[in-house]
Structure 1
Amino acid sequence: MQQILRAGSAALLLTALCACASAGETAAGAAPAAYDAALAERLGADEYGMRSYVLAILKTGPQDAEITDKAERAALFAGHFSNMGRLAEEGKLVLAGPLGGEDGRRGLFILNTPDIETAKAWVASDPTVEAGVFTIDYSKYYGSAALMQVNEVHARIQKKGVTD
């Protein structure tokens, strides 16, 4: 039975390799047929199509439960969304979104810098961070350079703004 499984695994691997070759994969070290050198350069991609960013995880801060006035919270979060919009327009914020709240994790930012200190300086201007509604955990992140196109594409598919 083990020999059959091994033979089946080898056949599956060979099938997968053939499928990759027929899907446009090239010889080792060669760029795939769809490779766009100008786009890769514009997005800051390395040879793997990747680049370095900083990942910021927004967590529930020490003042979150203390700030209960609805108008104050609304103003803080309006400033939070405005700040994100400004950072995105400046090309600093690549991606942002809410998280489910597990373990106090409330949102994330992917920032267009490989430097954590630079990312901290950019995020420090967020009113919710300044007020202690959120604290931030920072980490270096290596991901697809295609993320640099998220804001451009999002602007073309967004019907309503966050504050509408």
Structure 2
Amino acid sequence: MLRLLLLMVLVPFTGRSQTESPANHYNQYLADSLGADAYGMRMYQFVLLKTGDSTITDKEKVTVLFKGHMENISKLVADHKLIIAGPFAKNLLQYRGLFIFTTKTKEATEALLASDPAVKSGLLKTEIYGWYGSAALPMYLPFHTQIEKSKH
């Protein structure tokens, strides 16, 4: 009896995974809406943030600049221009964080970075690289808002 019950429960799951391939789940509308190529990928702009060359000793001014940096990140996310942003742990190379932009060109990315007070002031400097990744990457953002208890 237990064997029959296990078969009834497990067979639908094992049978499905063996007979269906990922191609059976292809969604043309979704792929098109995300700008996906045939591999489900697209180009992004990957930005490394490093410690800049500017030295500002006024701690209040630094606080204001980094507050503006965080506000700018929120604005760029709301505008669907920025999909990943986050800091690195301390490291010897002085990498401070990363951005992944939905922009297609380095020039468009530079224009957006010019709106960041910490970059404009020289507290942060940037390196920009084209990056080929999953077109589904922006889809995590609505879920993030559901698990974010408080903002910065």
Amino acid at match of 1:32: A
Return the offset for 1:43.
1.1
Amino acid at match of 2:61: E
Amino acid at match of 1:87: L
Alignment equivalent of 1:33, drawn from 20, 24, 41 = 24
1:24 aligns to what? 20
- C-alpha separation in 2, matches of 1:111 and 1:23: 38
Alignment equivalent of 1:96, drawn from 62, 85, 103 = 85
1:148 aligns to what? 138
1:117 aligns to what? 107
- C-alpha separation in 1, matches of 2:88 and 2:100: 13
Deviations 1:47-69, CA, capped at 9 Å, x for gaps: 11111000010000011xx2232
Structure 1 unaligned residues grouped into runs of 5+? 1-20, 26-30
**Divergent runs of 4+, >6 A:** none
Alignment equivalent of 1:107, drawn from 97, 102, 112 = 97
Structure 2 unaligned residues grouped into runs of 5+? 1-16
Amino acid at match of 1:160: S
Q: CA, structure 1 residues 116+101, in 2 after alignment: closer, same or farther (shift >3 Å)? A: farther
- C-alpha separation in 2, matches of 1:144 and 1:42: 13
TM-score, with structure 1 as normaliser: 0.77
Percent identity over the alignment is 40
Return the offset for 1:23.
6.7
Amino acid at match of 2:45: V
Return the offset for 1:101.
3.6
Deviations 1:18-65, CA, capped at 9 Å, x for gaps: xxx82733xxxxx612222221111111111111000010000011xx
Count residues with an aligned counterpart. Answer: 135
Q: CA, structure 1 residues 23+131, in 2 after alignment: closer, same or farther (shift >3 Å)? A: farther
